[in-house]
Structures are given as structure tokens and as C-alpha cells.
Structure 1
Amino acid sequence: MQLKKINQNLQQALIENWITDPTEVQADCWSTLKSGADAVVIMPEGEGKTTSIVYTVIQKLEKAVGESTRALVIVKDKEAVLQTVEMFEKFGKYTNLRIIGVNDKTDIDEEKNIISAGMDVLIGTPNKINAMFSGAGFNMNTVKIFVVDDANEIFKLRLEPIVQRLSMSVEKTQRLFFCSELTERVEILADKIMIDPFLFGVDDYEEEDDE
């Protein structure tokens, strides 16, 4: 993947998975995402939306550190959890990052024990992650990057209050929304919880909408 100053081990893992050339949106947003700024990224289905999330998080974290979760990735359902975990395992092949995926059907007590023992990346559905952090005593302030994938679909289900509550539990973090389309709900919550967010991919979406 030809992206400026990308981690060489990450780049190698991407190439081994036949990901070599970034899309226009991936190239446009890379420097901003790498810098730690808040952003909303619009990418149509099949254009590498989840891939972008995974390599951005790996680039930011690089290696296992400490015991507390440093990246929180909220996804829409069990299938998305499994898919995202698989991508992290592939693209993080040359790192020692600790990754766990949780969904509404998995054992919360077992997962809490695993996370307490040391975890870098937590991937899960909104309701499950909310249940895990409500009264669990986890320190959310170690989260360095807070990502919502398919934000437009998640917010369509009126789950914004959960995302907002989780976001408010972190004093300082990078907040990213990835969507297949820009909706009013996405814009409203971005304005509420993000600091001067950048917007990428909206021109492509509007052009597609006009056709």
C-alpha cells in the first residue's frame, strides 16, 4: 500500500494480502487520520472502508503496550465483528497487538477477564461494548482511537446515545466515523463529540447521488 510514512511491517502485511494501491479517498484521508485528528470518512461499500479502519489503528498503536484497551472499534453486528477481527489478524501479522472481538452472544464475564489481563484493540457491537463498560470499572481514558464503522447504519437504529455516552467516557481520544453515506444523524453526532472534524469522500458520494 503506497501511503506516505506507513509502517513498513504494516505495508508488507497489506501487500501480502493483495492490497497495494489506495483508493482516492484512502490516499486523501491518510495523513489526517495518521495525525490524530477527528474525521468522518465516506466510502461506498466495497471501497475498503473497514480495511482503512484496520490499517489506521495498527499504524497508530504499532505494538502491545500496558494492560488497558487503547483502540475501540464499534461495528454493526456479529458478522462485522468477525470480519474486522480477521482483518486485524492479517494486517497485524508483524505486530504483537492483542485483539478481541465481542458481540451480543458472547460471554461477557469471560471477555472482561481477558480484557483485564491486557488488551490493545476491542472490537464489538454497540450494545455489547456498552454493557461491558457500564459499571465494569474499566479505564476508558487509555483509549487513543475511538472508531465507529458503518456509522450511518448504526445510527439509523437510534444507537447514537450509546456511542455518545461511550465517547464522553474518554477525556482525550481521536474520534472517527466511517460510513457508506453521509446522513443527518452522522453529521449531528460528529458535531457533538468531535473537535473540528475533517470530512472525506463526500464529493464522491454526492457525484454518485446525482447520477
Structure 2
Amino acid sequence: MTFADLGLSPELLKAVDSAGYTEPTAIQREAIPPVLMMKDIIGIAQTGTGKTASFVLPMIDILSHGRRRARMPRSLILAPTRELAAQVAENFEKYGKNHDLTLALLIGGVQMGDQVKALDEGVDVLIATPGRLMDLFERGKILLNGCELLVIDEADRMLDMGFIPDIEFICSKLPETRQTMLFSATMPPPIEKLTKKFLNNPKRIEVSRAASTNSDITAFKVKVGTRQKRETLRWLLNHDLVETAIVFANRKTTVREVNQSLRRHGFASGEIHGDMDQTSRNRELERFKAGDINILVASDVAARGLDVKGVSHVFNFDTPWHPDDYVHRIGRTGRAGAKGRAFTFVTSQDAEAIENIEKLTGLSIPVFGQSDVRVELKQAGDASESESGAEPERQRKSRPRKTKSEEIRPDETGTEETKAPRKSTSRSRKAADEGNDRERGPRRAKRGDDEGPTPAGEWNGPMPEFLGVSALS
């Protein structure tokens, strides 16, 4: 089946073709025809299945006929995070380039002035996070009684973030005759209740088992001690053919500390978390997409909706507290038919969390071991050179993917970062990172946690001893 078989207009098909897509995904094949027939739908699909295009494409054709009016958007798309809302806007711009449609993006962290101006001029598509939409509605800057189409995206994430009361309020202000589409990876009881209240005889589409993981992703759990996480992360970055990677942590402070540690060791990394303003978050995402950095350390603000092509690896530096977050985190890799690898660091304190993840997904995640290493480990080599972390120039040349910014640059996110002059001893490097590792307890007498990176493919001997030790036993 091709996109032409779905009943889309020639102008839209041309835009889809120029974007490089020829065959629709399963959710697109099932959802687009009923949307074009103006039916309500419930779409249950895991992340990375092409869900966004399944409602963006038919909406463009539906909205191509009609007239926009000031402060009265013709359609509304609700997204849980700024990043997901921006991603949806990018899809409309890409696929709607042959149509005369205007859109407004209402998200927090940016000035309201331009958003209000766009609403005053009239928009066909309004993409918003619930908080900013409620703010402007209460100020009398927007009217919802002319909205013909409503999309609630990532409904289960809305539930997790406490947005369901806001969504119910917004739905109550919309015309009863509207068309409504709801998409979610899972369908907990509160979301089922929401669909019964606000959708009219919806068509239910489920293209994969709820909470299932992508078969294109090879997942491992890495049993480590808390003090070994950073050394383990650097070892894997150097030895698993990493091209681009997202590293997830549970806390914003951990995101900052891990990024600073990686940068000190010569990795081209950046960070994104909820304490950053929207401009800084957008800048980091653009650097990641452009290849200026190839490692992005993130909190769960980036776990959903972030669509970056070619992410080869996901690392869960912390085991997710909520099992659903595991599915969405690792879903950043293995997208659009590509293969990906996901590593979850598991300490003795994470036994219950990883058990809940395996129960939700119905899969037993294998433990990463010697046979899973993808770069041949060399027994020969200059041991003293590897141990000291010397020769930074050769380390840069051995990086799995050469990026545009090899050198450590001033932090562009607004987070303070100072870089002491590099010294040749491992003791000085350990001391430089001591302040960020206090929660780890006493330092090990052997190879320090924050010694310099070992060149890729030149590890002297087998895997580090700690990767073969069970932290759960």
C-alpha cells in the first residue's frame, strides 16, 4: 500500500514524496482513512510508529477548505511537552508546504507576544501545551467555540503530568459536533473514562500491544554499583560503535553532572532538562540534530515526542522509576526501521523497578556480558598510556563518530561550567570530579571513576571487572 491509496490529495502526496516517504506505517494505514471520513478515533501505538503523521496528514487535507478567523482556531492539538508540541509543528510545516495553512505554537518558556499576535491574525492549526493554552484562555486571548478538530496526543503522559483536569475543562469549551482524535501508548482507566466522555462512537486502532517494545531495539541491563556508573557509561560509549546517543537520568541534577563529566573527558555532549528555558532547550536539540554534539544527556522531559533521526543508542543512566517511561525512553532509538541498542544501568536498589519493567513489557531483559561487546577488545597495547588517559589527540580520532565540535566549548545552556587546566595524572582528574561524586561514598583504590577515556577499541584486556559482577546478587 502507498500513501496514494489512502485518499490524500495530490498536493499532500507531493509533499510526502519530497520528504522521502513512500509507504505508510501501520498506524497511518489504519488511521488516515477514518480521519478523512470525519470519524473520531482512538489510536494506541508505541512511540516511533509514525503516529504524528497519522493525524497531521489528513488534517491538512480537511483544513484546506475553510476560512480562519481571529482568535478562533479551526483545530487544536494538545501535547504534554514543549518538545512534542514543537515536533508536531515541524510536521505541519513539512507536509503542509503546498497548502495555505497557518499555525500557532503555544508553549511555555517563550514570550506570549508573538503567540497572541498569531492568534489575532487567525490560525488554522493551534498546537499547544495545556498550561499555556489555559493561561491565554483565562486572559480572554483565545476562543475555542470555532474548533472543528481536536487531537489529544500522548494521553497517558498527560495523565502522568496531571493535565487531565485541564483537558476536561478545554473539551467542555469546544463545540460538541467536533471531530476528536486521542492517541496514547497505553490505556489506563482514567484515559478510558476520558474517551467515553468526550469521543463519539470512536474507531479504536491498536497497531501493537500496549507497553510493548520495538523489535528493532536490542536491549540490555548492565549490573553496576552506584560508584561505577560513569566509568561504565564512558566504556560503553567507547566500545559499542556509538554514533549518536541519548543518556537518560531521573534527576535534573544528575543530568547536569553527567554532562559535565562527559565534557571533561572529551565527549561532545549536551544536556536538556526542565530547569532550562525553552530557548536553551531548543538550542541544545538543534546542536544534537546538526551533529555539533552526538551525545544528549536528558531528563524525562525529552523521553516522549523527541524525534531525531539516526539515534543509535539509548542509555538509561538511572533505571526509570515508572515502567512506562522505560518504553518511551528506549523508543528514541530503533525508529523508522533502523536498528538501535539500549542499555539500562541497574544497581542493587533498582531490583524492584527493573522487575516492574520486565513485567510490563513481558520480556526478560538480558544482562550485558562479554559476548555482547561489538568492538574487538585488544589484549596488546600500551597499558600505561591507557591507564593514564594520555594522548587526547588520539582519543579524539578514535571517537566512534567525528562531530563538528571536537573541543570542549563553553556551556551554551546557561549552566555554569569551569574547566581546569588538563593535567597528566589520573589523581588530578579524579579530584576535578570529586565534587560531583559525593553521593558515591569512598573512592576505589583501583582505576578511578573519572579518569580519562580509553581510546575506542584499545581496551587492554577483557571487559572491566565490574561489568561482570552482579549488582543484584
Shared fold (TM-score greater than 0.5)?
yes
- The Cα shift of 1:93 comes to 0.7
Which residue of 2 is the match for residue 180 of structure 1? 185
- CA distances 1:141-168 after superposition (whole Å, capped 9, x unpaired): 2111100111111122221111111111
Which residue of 1 is the match for residue 73 of structure 2? 69
1:3–1:69 distance in 2 versus 1, CA, 3 Å: farther
Aligned runs of 1:1-211 on 2, under 5 Å?
Answer: 1-62=3-64, 65-67=67-69, 68-136=72-140, 138-171=142-175, 172-201=177-206, 204-205=208-209, 208=212
TM-score (norm. length: structure 2): 0.42
Larger Rg: 2
* Farther off after superposition, 57-66 or 8-17: 57-66
- The Cα shift of 1:63 comes to 5.3
- CA distances 1:79-123 after superposition (whole Å, capped 9, x unpaired): 112211111111001011001112111222442232011111111
- CA distances 1:159-211 after superposition (whole Å, capped 9, x unpaired): 11111111111122111111122222221101111111221016x21594566
Query: Which protein has the bigger helix share?
Result: 1
Residue identity matched to 1:195: N
The number of residue pairs the alignment matches comes to 210
1:33–1:22 distance in 2 versus 1, CA, 3 Å: same
Which residue of 1 is the match for residue 408 of structure 2? none
Secondary structure at the residue paired with 1:2? helix
Residue identity matched to 2:80: K
Q: Give the number of the structure with larger relative contact order, counting CA–CA contacts within 8 Å between residues 6 or more apart.
A: 1
* Farther off after superposition, 18-27 or 4-13: 18-27
Aligned sequence identity (%): 22
**Distance in 2 between the 1:56 and 1:69 partners?**
17
- Unaligned ranges ≥5, structure 1: none
- Unaligned ranges ≥5, structure 2: 213-360, 364-473
Moved over 4 A (4+): 206-211
**Distance in 2 between the 1:147 and 1:196 partners?**
16
Task: Give the alignment's Cα RMSD to 1 decimal.
Answer: 1.9
TM-score (norm. length: structure 1): 0.91
- CA distances 1:14-69 after superposition (whole Å, capped 9, x unpaired): 11112221122321222211111211101111100112121122121015623231
